[in-house]
Structure formats: structure tokens, C-alpha cells
Structure 1
């Protein structure tokens, strides 16, 4: 019998931190679990990332209420993954914002992704009975849009494919802080199972060009100061390249998925084995890198059954 996914055995509750990354800008982080962001305006609050369930979203709300009693008016979802969006119901009825592409991915593969992630991450979906269904945006944008929380301007942008085809970043100009979703991580593995390796580096370049003073990443600790920002962008770039290059070499010589797995491990293990969720992500990352190297531009949809079939193939 094949061993379980690493994520299925990850049952320990994580320690939550809540760090101010700029004036009235907060990063909710939890030791490699999905992060959320909080942007407090003159009259209301914007949340970035909903969490996986209303139960987990309530932990974000509790932290928000520790610093402000202003109503939550907006919820921005940087992409479609279940662990980011299915907790939306906890926030009441805010305006829910996604890119056009991210919404199309909810339609195309949202239920399959939910089923897949539910199987992989039982801890994150505790309290799943309270999820009312798939989360759809009330507002979408193609390239960019601006929201004013009173006088505070918030720019929401789709600057390129990376973690998914529809990733959004959120920039708050008055403090020069960015919320990047899973395009940038800090001491956490990037999940690349629905990613675009060939585009990811250019998207990181566009983030770097903003020259921000702080980043709230998708996973990992808040990044305050230009040195921390540059370090995390560089380590994210290294992680992505260290995954895709060995897999591409195997694909080019006609090797199979398990050979790609072994080649990626040989490169990545020495550098990233101690990163949060490294083992959780690795089989999905290798599968996507191997597919892209063989010319599959649109990531294949992960389903609960495809997960198991892939894992069985890697177990030999």
C-alpha cells in the first residue's frame, strides 16, 4: 500500500502571527499555512484571501477585531485554490474581487480542486460542513482595478502567470506594501501544481520593479524592508528554477515522471528540504514541471483520483 501524502499527516495546529507591515496593514501568518492580509481604510476593511473554511476565516476576523471595529467591505482573492477561497462566507457579504481569469478557473476546475485539496489537507478543512459551496466573485477585472477605502487607494493587478494563470497582487501605494499571494513565498515551498514555470520569473521581475518596502507573501513570515523583500523574491525564483530545470532535462531525453521526481529531488532537497510544506508540494510540482516541459501549457486539472494515480506512479 502506498504511503499517504505528507499533507495528510500534517495534523498539528500552527502558531498564528499577526504583524503590521505598514500603517494599518497586517499580515496574518501561520507557520507555512495559507496567509491572509488586512488593509484598513478610513471607513472599512479589505481582506486578502479568505482561508479554507469559515472556521479558519474566523481566526482572521478575530485578529482584525483586535485592531479595528470597522466593517469588512471587500474581500480580494488572489487566485482560485480552495484553501484560499472557501472561507468567504464568514465575512458576511463583502464585495468579492478576483481577476477574470481566476473566476474562469473557478468555473472550469473549482469543484475538482476542492475535492483534491480536501483529500490532501484534512486539517485545513476541519469544519468543512459550514462551507456553503464554491466561492464566486461579485466583481472581476482583466488587467487592473483600483478600490478606494475612503482616501486609501488600493491597486489590484494581474501582472502575469505564475502560481496560477489568474494570479492577482494587491499594492497599497501610500505605504508601498504589496500582498503577493502565492507568487512569492518565504521559507515555504511554492505549490506549482497549477503553475507556469516559464512565466514565473518575469512575473517576479514585475513585482521587484515596484521596489516595495514590504511584502505579505502567500506563505511564510511577513517581509518588512527591502532586503527581506529581495531575499524572498530571489529564493522563490531559485525554488521555481530548481524544480523546472531538472524536470525539463529528463523530459527532453524521454525520461518518465519518476525519473523527473528523482532529478528534482537531487537538486531541491539540499536547498529546500526544511521549507514548510516541501514534501506536500513536491509530487505536484514535479508533475506540472514535467508536463510543461512536454508542451502542456494549460495545467491539467487535479482531481482526487488523479492525485492518487500520480502518487502511485511515483511510489513505483
Structure 2
């Protein structure tokens, strides 16, 4: 017999989270009297059809809107499928994310196009982009009927266009990839490692001690977890500043720094950190 247990699990009143093994992605549904708001849509059209089936199995109401937490493919490649399955619903994102989705997706398609043996190659390349339709720059409130949901751009971190979702009446915050549980947060070529800690400070300011925090990847966490992750990101940022101020060249920074994570994960962080530092915080090495 097939397993009929709903994949979406209620983590707070009318807030359901489904965790998918592929990339440990989380998809969240927020219920209101007008219907369901879905946050992120997964990494391919094929996987999004699985998510759509899980939404129907939950049976909590019609899907009336989508949110993309940022422009990376694993959070929006399911957009077109959701529109096909549930109708032409509004899709919300920051202006930055909407303006950079096509560029970011192009890099993804190019990367998987060069991996002929990757098991997910064909399904990723078969994905059709569907851009967000509703954008904002700093914050916006969505009306779900008997519930208000806040979308907030707290600053630059994982990308320049991250948003977090706050559900005040349920005391839930969805962190996108500003918070990750399955691995340390990914600092990539479009991240802002020096600003990420202060961006998380604003996110933490949205929380109470009892807040349920849903990361972009991994298991549901709490405020203490986010504070610990902020400390680690802060150590990375301050180590970069310290090394640069002492004249340590970028090429030697990974070897000379004392890092909270495996240095191999921090190549982009160091390169970007050195690039983003103002000249006043860099000391040129003596020749």
C-alpha cells in the first residue's frame, strides 16, 4: 500500500512544512481564510509536480499565491509547474531576485548542461522559467483573509535579494537560505559575507524566544540556532577584516585564518570579503 501520510507537517497553527530529500529543501504552506500561500517551489518541474500532489493530499485549501525567497534555482524552478497546476497565482519576490533570476538560472542551465552523467540533468534542463509577478524593495504585507503575512528584505547575505517571511500570529519566521540547518549556510559567488551577520541581526530581531524558524534547507530550528549561526558568520567576517587590516594577502588568508568552518567552504567568502572591504580597512603588504 502507498504511504498516505501527508508530507506537509503542521509546525504552528496553519503553517505546514514539507522537507524533501533532494537538497534538503523545505517548502512551506501558510493557510488563511482566502487560501494557501506557498513559500518556494523546489528545483525542477518534475519535483514541483510531486510538491503539487503533496499540497492536494494535505487538503488544506486552494493555492492562492507563491513566494520565492531568492533567485537561486532550487527555490523557484517549480514556479511554472505551480501555475500550470493551480492557476495564474501571484508570485512574490524582492525586486533584486526577480531582476536576477534569468541570469542566475542561465548559470545553472550551463552548469548542468556540462554534466552529461548527472542523474538530475535532464529534469533540470527541461524546466521552464516563470518569473515573479509581484515585487518589493524593503517590506510588504500580504492579506490571506484572516491572517497577515509579512515579506521582509532584511539586507544582503546569502544573496543581495533575500527575503524572510514572518507570520506574526503564529510566531513563525521562514529564513530562506539566510539560515540553513542541513549544512553551514552556502557562501557563494553572489553572497555578501561581510554584511550577512548584521542582516541576521535584523532577522533575529523579528523573533521571540519561542519563534519557530524554518530554514531554506534542513530541519526546523529555533532562535538559539539562528543566533549561533550568526556568531559563526560574524567570526568569518571579522577574521577577514582582521587579516586584511594586518596586510595578509587574500591568497594566504585561508591558510592563516582561524575559521569556524572547513576552509574549503570559505574560498568565495574570503575572495568576496576582500573585494567588499573599503580601502581604509586594507593594509597593503610592504614590498
Q: Taking structure 1 as the reference length, what is the TM-score of the superposition? A: 0.73
2:249 paired with 1:255: yes
Residue in structure 2 matched with residue 220 of structure 1 by the alignment: 218
More helix by share: 1
Q: Quote the Cα distance in structure 2 between the aligned partners of 1:62 and 1:263.
A: 50
Q: Closer, same or farther in 2 for the Cα pair 1:235/1:116, shift >3 Å?
A: farther
SS at match of 1:80: coil
Shift of 1:291: 2.5
Q: Would you identify which runs of 4 or more consecutive aligned residues in structure 1 move more than 6 Å?
A: none
Residue in structure 1 matched with residue 38 of structure 2 by the alignment: 47
Whose Rg is larger? 2
Q: Quote the Cα distance in structure 1 between the aligned partners of 2:113 and 2:186.
A: 16
Residue in structure 2 matched with residue 241 of structure 1 by the alignment: 234
Q: Quote the Cα distance in structure 2 between the aligned partners of 1:117 and 1:130.
A: 11
Which one of 10, 18, 21 corresponds to residue 28 of structure 1?
18
2:274 paired with 1:293: yes
Task: Report the aligned-residue RMSD.
Answer: 2.9
Q: Closer, same or farther in 2 for the Cα pair 1:126/1:104, shift >3 Å?
A: same
Residue in structure 2 matched with residue 175 of structure 1 by the alignment: 170
More relative contact order, 1 or 2 (CA 8 Å, 6+ apart) = 1
Q: Quote the Cα distance in structure 2 between the aligned partners of 1:70 and 1:130.
A: 29
Q: Closer, same or farther in 2 for the Cα pair 1:296/1:108, shift >3 Å?
A: farther
Residue in structure 1 matched with residue 179 of structure 2 by the alignment: 184
Shift of 1:123: 5.0
How many residues get paired? 263
Contact 2:69 2:176 in 1 (8 A): yes
Residue in structure 1 matched with residue 207 of structure 2 by the alignment: 211
Q: Closer, same or farther in 2 for the Cα pair 1:69/1:124, shift >3 Å?
A: farther
Which one of 45, 57, 80 corresponds to residue 66 of structure 1?
57
Q: Closer, same or farther in 2 for the Cα pair 1:57/1:108, shift >3 Å?
A: closer
Aligned pairs for 1:91-106 (under 5 A) are: 91-92=82-83, 93-106=88-101
Contact 1:45 1:70 in 2 (8 A): yes
Unaligned runs of 5+ in 2: 1-5, 279-287
Residue in structure 1 matched with residue 3 of structure 2 by the alignment: none
Q: Closer, same or farther in 2 for the Cα pair 1:54/1:107, shift >3 Å?
A: closer
Residue in structure 2 matched with residue 163 of structure 1 by the alignment: 158
Unaligned runs of 5+ in 1: 1-15, 224-228, 298-316
SS at match of 1:218: strand
SS at match of 1:73: strand
Q: Quote the Cα distance in structure 1 between the aligned partners of 2:228 and 2:59.
A: 34
SS at match of 2:26: strand
Q: Quote the Cα distance in structure 2 between the aligned partners of 1:172 and 1:106.
A: 26
Contact 2:181 2:219 in 1 (8 A): yes
Which one of 238, 245, 259 corresponds to residue 267 of structure 1?
259
Contact 1:186 1:220 in 2 (8 A): yes
Residue in structure 2 matched with residue 138 of structure 1 by the alignment: 133
Shift of 1:295: 3.2
SS at match of 1:198: coil
Q: Taking structure 2 as the reference length, what is the TM-score of the superposition? A: 0.79
Q: Quote the Cα distance in structure 1 between the aligned partners of 2:256 and 2:113.
A: 29
Contact 1:192 1:288 in 2 (8 A): yes
Shift of 1:250: 5.2
